[in-house]
């Protein structure tokens, strides 16, 4: 009986330990995936009660408008690359000037979400942007509704990694070749609103391979050339909108890409039409070995998103 009890005790203990190990593994993500992923950059929200749902007229009810910026993507956002504009209400009506509703930079960087060496997701702290002491100065005949909108422009980046195959015989690989040229490749994208959605490698002769990349906008905002600061005037918008900067890095030399605006072979500006663009790159391969080429692509762009709320201004009773 004692041996039976001891066996049952050890069995239960082993099951508890095994369950604990399994739960610990579930808490972490994959150790081989470099990114959390996702299609968002910054999450932009009004803080609770700022603005409130309703205020009163006649300079009787001061209130704040405060934005909460949380970086749920995987690129740090520099404080001097963020601009914020409040629109929908006339600043004069609320005791402010036009410049009071515009911030061309913020007080601190908006840090990215990260993945540690065990695959665990590390969330960053939010950053707050405040517009303080607004008061509706006029006297209303009756209650009135006003839209309050915050537009945020920021510079963002996408990092994408994929494995290219450098083959000694790209046209006729051996059955047991360590990698193959003529196939679609998996792409790992960092959390960001623009992705490298597809990557296909193809032979282009006995000593040349072709890379075909598809860039795709997956977010809900608008994007522009990096450094353009999400322009407001129509002519500049037409010139700068739907453009990203593309840069590819490879450990193998003689990589040349087409479809890029600029003089460089491996980087330049790309125009996305209907949210998509395709880039073709060719690479000379004179290797006598088969091996994996770790390819890195960086997309850089200015991104604009908004949040909006309706404010009720009530008539004060004298």
CATH 2.60.40.10 residue spans of the chain: 42-155+305-314
Residue 23, token pair as written in the block? 């739960």
**What pLDDT, on the 0 to 100 scale, is given for residue 20?**
41
- Residues 179-218 pLDDT 10s: 888 899 999 999 999 999 999 999 887 788 999 999 999 9
Residue 283, judged by CB atoms within 10 A of its CB (0-12, 13-18, 19+), counts as buried
**What pLDDT, on the 0 to 100 scale, is given for residue 208?**
86
Q: What is the CA radius of gyration of the chain?
A: 27
CA distances from 64 to 50, 105, 132, 134, 158 (A): 5, 19, 4, 6, 34
User: How far is the C-alpha of 238 from the C-alpha of 30, rounded, in Å?
Assistant: 42
Res. 16: pLDDT tops 90: no
**pLDDT, greater one: 193 or 284:** 193
Which residue carries 């509706």 as its tokens? 136
Q: Which CATH superfamily is domain 42-155+305-314 in?
A: Immunoglobulins (2.60.40.10)
Answer for the pair 74, 123: CB distance below 8 angstroms, yes or no: no
Answer for the pair 233, 214: CB distance below 8 angstroms, yes or no: no
Res. 1: pLDDT tops 90: no
Indicate the SS3 state at residue 79: helix
């Amino acid at each position: 009986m004692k041996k039976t009890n001891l066996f049952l005790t050890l069995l239960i203990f082993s099951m508890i330990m095994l369950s604990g190990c399994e739960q610990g593994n579930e808490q972490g993500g994959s150790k081989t995936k470099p990114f959390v992923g996702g299609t968002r950059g910054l999450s932009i929200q009004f803080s609770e009660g700022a603005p409130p749902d309703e205020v009163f007229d006649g300079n009787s009810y001061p209130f704040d408008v405060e934005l909460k910026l949380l970086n749920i993507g995987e690129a740090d956002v520099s404080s001097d690359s963020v601009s914020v504009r409040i629109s929908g209400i006339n600043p004069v009506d609320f005791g402010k000037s036009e410049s009071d509703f515009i911030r061309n930079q913020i007080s601190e960087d908006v840090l990215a979400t990260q993945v540690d060496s065990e695959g665990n997701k590390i969330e960053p702290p939010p950053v707050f942007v405040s517009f303080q002491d607004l008061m509706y100065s006029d006297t209303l005949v009756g209650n009135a509704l006003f839209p309050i909108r915050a537009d945020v422009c920021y510079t963002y980046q996408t990092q994408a990694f994929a494995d290219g195959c450098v083959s000694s015989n790209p046209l006729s690989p051996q059955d047991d070749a360590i990698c193959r040229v003529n196939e679609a490749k998996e792409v790992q994208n960092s959390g960001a609103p623009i992705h490298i959605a597809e990557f296909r490698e193809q032979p282009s002769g006995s000593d040349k391979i072709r890379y075909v990349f598809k860039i795709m906008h997956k977010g809900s905002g608008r994007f522009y050339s990096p450094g353009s600061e999400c322009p407001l005037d129509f002519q500049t918008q037409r010139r700068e909108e739907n453009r990203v900067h593309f840069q590819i890095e490879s450990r193998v030399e003689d990589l040349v890409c087409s479809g890029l605006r600029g003089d460089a072979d491996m980087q330049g500006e790309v125009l996305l039409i209907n949210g998509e663009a395709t880039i073709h790159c060719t690479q000379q391969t004179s290797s006598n070995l088969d091996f994996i080429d770790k390819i890195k692509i960086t997309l850089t762009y200015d991104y604009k998103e908004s949040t909006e709320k309706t404010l009720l201004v009530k008539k004060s009773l004298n």
